[in-house]
Chains A and B, each alone.
Chain A
Amino acid sequence: MSSPSPVRRVSAEGPSTTAIFLVLRKMRAPLIVLISLFAISILGLTIVPGQTIEGQVWRMDPFEAFYFMSYTATTIGFGEIPYPFSAAQRAWVIVTIYLSVVAWAYAIGSVLALLQDRGFREALGLQRFERQVRRMREPFLILCGFGQAGEVVARALDATDHRLVVVDREGTRIEALDLAAFRSDVPGLCGDASDPHELRRAGLDSPHCAGVIALTNDDHANLAITMATALLRPELPVVCRTLQDDLIDRIKAFGDPLIVDPFNLFGDELVVALRAPVTNRLTSWLTSDQGSPLPVQLDIPRHGRWVVAGYGRFGGHLAADLVRNGIPVTVIDSKGGTGQGLEVITGDPTSPQALDAADLDNAVAFAAATDHDITNLSLIVSATSRNPGLFTVARHNDPTNGPLFDALHIDSVLMPTRLIAHEVLARIGDPMMWLFVQNAQRRDDAWGQPLLDRLVAVCGERRPEIWTVELTDHGAPSLMDHIEAADVTVAQLLKDPQDRQRDLEAVVLMIRRGQSVVMAPDDTQVLQVGDRLLVAGRGYDRRNLDTTLCVPAAAEYVITGAQVGASWIWRTLADR
């Protein structure tokens, strides 16, 4: 008996061979017609009498008749072979010619119709998809849901050299995959990812599957995906998007999936920004796309009353987070609502009476938190016209409305899809970065300000390249001897291998040492074998650092200042 495999399998059909069976099935009738008409024609030819040149009665045998039929039916038409036909033979040949035309037309027509057939094309596509997934020989992630958030996640994961398999219920989105111009080949399956069979088709059983990301619009589908993955492949990481609080507990029952809840995230971020605006500015800069400018600092008023229009899921979270931080909140909602420490105004938030009742003149901040973009925009406009000094927060759902939100200069915009995408990327794409952000958000401004100043001084005001260096035999082969022999500090490592007087334009953001973490280590921090460094810096200095890590002569020069030859002969001579 074989040892139990770590991959648990549910019984299912083997690889789908639907396409070939469909062809065979649909070609049955035309082929039978073709064979039958040929058989009748040949039989007739062998029965009808002909004449030799000498005038003797002569009949074709089946072989000659088959030869004649073959060149006649395929329109080659060699003529009357071997003897000129008799009238009777010619009469029968007329019949056979028309029979064969019908048979061929039917057969070819069926093949063409089959090629156009939707079911057949889907079967072919499915077969191609399964082949692609089977041939994946490197770790890949299964992305369920290729909507707005899914597309951002897919693009960014692709840009950071992750392989992907996409499952979506909408055929048009899967078709959009072909046009999306990813760097690597991204197979797409049109199907319901909450169906375990579809998930297995997408490679859940594959030993190369590295994780599942559930980003569909349907929270229950996301729950089903998380459940299926937890039961079939318990060791795989799962990221699950949800918008509903009551589902979070149910999701948590299955292992430890990473839950992405944009409304919670936004509230948490806002609280961090309230408490430590500089640190928040730093983390949001570092988690943005490479090359983006340093964002403006969010100066959230720390004292004073907030007005939240719309007490839905987002508004509820926001109000609760604010109240927890001791900020008075007034909520406007047409359905009303209750909450601890809240002043609730029941009424349509867009009506002037409700806004009057909220007494905006004496408030410091206004949040448009309904789930309708246009309502949010109009709320922001009417609120700022009453009190231009308000700090504004708006919820932005549909990316196509982006220019409108930009034009209003809203202080803080929540875009659920963008937030989800960033969170997923940080967690799955770059765990070191996520760890850094998690730790940084607990720090205050006294910690964040020096690091931000240093980053800007070293790397400029564009978001630098961020990468991870592993001080292992694999990640830094030339450095291992030096680290083991003597203390090597961070400052010693970050030198130009061409000229060690010059510091590399790079900053070590964090060192991960086993389970412990050193945040923003200073220059005198001593490195150890097995450390993982999160480094931010310029692209060209990333290559310089790679040189130090991989070329023994460069490492020797950077650490000790000794010039040694790179070739074996030179090193042997120098050692003497």
Chain B
Amino acid sequence: MNFEKVVFGFFVVLAATLNFGFFIGPIDDPRVHNAFELYSAVVINLIALVMKFGDRTQIGAVHLATSLVASLQLVAAGGLWAFYNNISEGAAMTPEQISSVVSLSGGALFANVISVTLLVVETVSFRRQ
């Protein structure tokens, strides 16, 4: 067992699951989309992104690309959430506002699904020499 692979797989899957957890539920209902889940999704995605640095293989390059997309979308979602909550006036978030945040995270989820698929493909095609 390669411990590096365990950590790598852990972060890639955790990034996807957290993202999924935030995304799931009616898109315009602020009650079912937890801010802390979004926050942890951003953090874990950033870590997953950094873990993919420096791999020169083709599959490593695609891994890095998907993670870049996911992180970008999630950071955008988090920024939007902070904007609606702190900068624009109004106490609670409107359904329109929360749905734009959630849809951004939905895009990130798609990239994360690709990332996990790559991980699975890599694992399945791995043969012990």
Q: Is the CB of B56 within 8 A of A35?
A: no
Q: Is the CB of B82 within 8 A of A25?
A: no
Q: Which of A24, A36, A43, A62 contacts B54 (CB 8 A)?
A: A24
Q: Confirm or deny: A46 has a beta carbon within 8 angstroms of a beta carbon on chain B.
A: yes
- Known A-B contacts A24-B53, A25-B54, A63-B82; the reply to A32 vs B36 at CB < 8 A is no
Q: Confirm or deny: A258 has a beta carbon within 8 angstroms of a beta carbon on chain B.
A: no
Q: Which of B40, B54, B86 contacts A61 (CB 8 A)?
A: B86
Q: Is the CB of A27 within 8 A of B86?
A: no
Q: How many residues of B contact A (CB 8 A)?
A: 17
- Known A-B contacts A61-B86, A63-B82; the reply to A28 vs B39 at CB < 8 A is no
State how many angstroms separate the Cβ of A44 from the closest Cβ of chain B.
Answer: 12
State how many angstroms separate the Cβ of A63 from the closest Cβ of chain B.
Answer: 3
Q: Which residues of B, 25-68, contact A by the 8 Å Cβ criterion? A: 35-36, 39-40, 43, 46-47, 50-51, 53-54, 56
Chain A residues in 8 Å Cβ range of B35: 61-62
The CA-CA distance from A49 to B86 in the complex, in Å, is 18
Q: Which residue of B lies closest to A66 (CB)?
A: B82
Q: Confirm or deny: A31 has a beta carbon within 8 angstroms of a beta carbon on chain B.
A: yes
Q: Which residue of B lies closest to A22 (CB)?
A: B54
Q: Is the CB of A25 within 8 A of B46?
A: no
State how many angstroms separate the Cβ of B48 from the closest Cβ of chain A.
Answer: 10
Chain A residues in 8 Å Cβ range of B40: 39, 43
Q: Confirm or deny: A21 has a beta carbon within 8 angstroms of a beta carbon on chain B.
A: yes
The CA-CA distance from A140 to B71 in the complex, in Å, is 47
Q: Confirm or deny: A42 has a beta carbon within 8 angstroms of a beta carbon on chain B.
A: yes
The CA-CA distance from A66 to B85 in the complex, in Å, is 14
Q: Is the CB of B78 within 8 A of A28?
A: no
Q: How many residues of A contact B (CB 8 A)?
A: 21
Q: Which residues of A contact B (CB under 8 A)?
A: 21-22, 24-28, 31-32, 35-36, 38-39, 42-43, 46, 61-64, 66
Q: Is the interface of B mostly helix, strand, loop or mixed?
A: helix
The CA-CA distance from A184 to B81 in the complex, in Å, is 58
Q: Is the CB of A32 within 8 A of B82?
A: no
Question: Beyond the given A26-B54, A28-B53, could you list 12 further A-B residue pairs with CB under 8 A, ordered by the A residue number?
Answer: A21-B56, A25-B53, A25-B54, A28-B54, A35-B47, A35-B50, A36-B47, A39-B43, A46-B36, A62-B35, A62-B39, A63-B85
Chain A residues in 8 Å Cβ range of B51: 28, 32
Chain B residues in 8 Å Cβ range of A64: 86
State how many angstroms separate the Cβ of B70 from the closest Cβ of chain A.
Answer: 15
Q: Is the CB of B50 within 8 A of A28?
A: yes
Chain A residues in 8 Å Cβ range of B82: 61-63, 66
14 contacts between A and B (CB under 8 A): A21-B54, A28-B50, A28-B54, A31-B50, A35-B50, A36-B43, A38-B43, A39-B40, A42-B39, A43-B39, A43-B40, A46-B39, A61-B86, A62-B36
The CA-CA distance from A62 to B40 in the complex, in Å, is 10
Chain B CB within 10 Å, residue with most, of A43, A61, A64, A66: A61
The CA-CA distance from A64 to B39 in the complex, in Å, is 12
State how many angstroms separate the Cβ of A131 from the closest Cβ of chain B.
Answer: 19
Q: Which residue of B lies closest to A25 (CB)?
A: B54
The CA-CA distance from A25 to B40 in the complex, in Å, is 24
The CA-CA distance from A61 to B84 in the complex, in Å, is 12
Chain A residues in 8 Å Cβ range of B81: 63
Chain B residues in 8 Å Cβ range of A31: 50, 53
The CA-CA distance from A32 to B46 in the complex, in Å, is 8
Chain B residues in 8 Å Cβ range of A36: 43, 47
Q: Which residue of B lies closest to A65 (CB)?
A: B39
Q: Which residue of B lies closest to A30 (CB)?
A: B50
State how many angstroms separate the Cβ of B76 from the closest Cβ of chain A.
Answer: 14
Chain B residues in 8 Å Cβ range of A26: 54
What 10 A-B pairs come out closest when comparing CB atoms? A25-B54, A63-B82, A24-B53, A24-B54, A39-B43, A31-B50, A62-B39, A35-B46, A28-B53, A21-B54
The CA-CA distance from A26 to B54 in the complex, in Å, is 8
Chain B residues in 8 Å Cβ range of A61: 35, 82, 85-86
Q: Is the CB of B78 within 8 A of A27?
A: no
The CA-CA distance from A31 to B67 in the complex, in Å, is 15
- Known A-B contacts A61-B85, A62-B78; the reply to A35 vs B54 at CB < 8 A is no
Q: Which residue of A lies closest to B78 (CB)?
A: A62
The CA-CA distance from A307 to B39 in the complex, in Å, is 93
Q: Is the CB of B39 within 8 A of A32?
A: no
Chain B residues in 8 Å Cβ range of A21: 54, 56
The CA-CA distance from A42 to B82 in the complex, in Å, is 14
Chain B CB within 10 Å, residue with most, of A31, A39, A42, A63: A63
Q: Which residues of B, 76-103, contact A by the 8 Å Cβ criterion? A: 78, 81-82, 85-86
Chain B residues in 8 Å Cβ range of A28: 50-51, 53-54
Chain A residues in 8 Å Cβ range of B56: 21
State how many angstroms separate the Cβ of B44 from the closest Cβ of chain A.
Answer: 8
Chain B residues in 8 Å Cβ range of A22: 54
State how many angstroms separate the Cβ of B11 from the closest Cβ of chain A.
Answer: 9
The CA-CA distance from A22 to B53 in the complex, in Å, is 9
The CA-CA distance from A31 to B56 in the complex, in Å, is 19
State how many angstroms separate the Cβ of A71 from the closest Cβ of chain B.
Answer: 16
The CA-CA distance from A498 to B51 in the complex, in Å, is 77
Chain A residues in 8 Å Cβ range of B47: 32, 35-36
Chain A residues in 8 Å Cβ range of B50: 27-28, 31-32, 35
The CA-CA distance from A25 to B35 in the complex, in Å, is 32
Q: Which residue of A lies closest to B39 (CB)?
A: A62
The CA-CA distance from A31 to B48 in the complex, in Å, is 11
Chain B residues in 8 Å Cβ range of A35: 43, 46-47, 50
The CA-CA distance from A384 to B85 in the complex, in Å, is 102
State how many angstroms separate the Cβ of A134 from the closest Cβ of chain B.
Answer: 20
The CA-CA distance from A24 to B36 in the complex, in Å, is 29
Q: Which residue of B lies closest to A18 (CB)?
A: B56
Chain A residues in 8 Å Cβ range of B39: 42-43, 46, 62
State how many angstroms separate the Cβ of A62 from the closest Cβ of chain B.
Answer: 5
Chain A residues in 8 Å Cβ range of B85: 61, 63
State how many angstroms separate the Cβ of A12 from the closest Cβ of chain B.
Answer: 15
The CA-CA distance from A24 to B46 in the complex, in Å, is 14
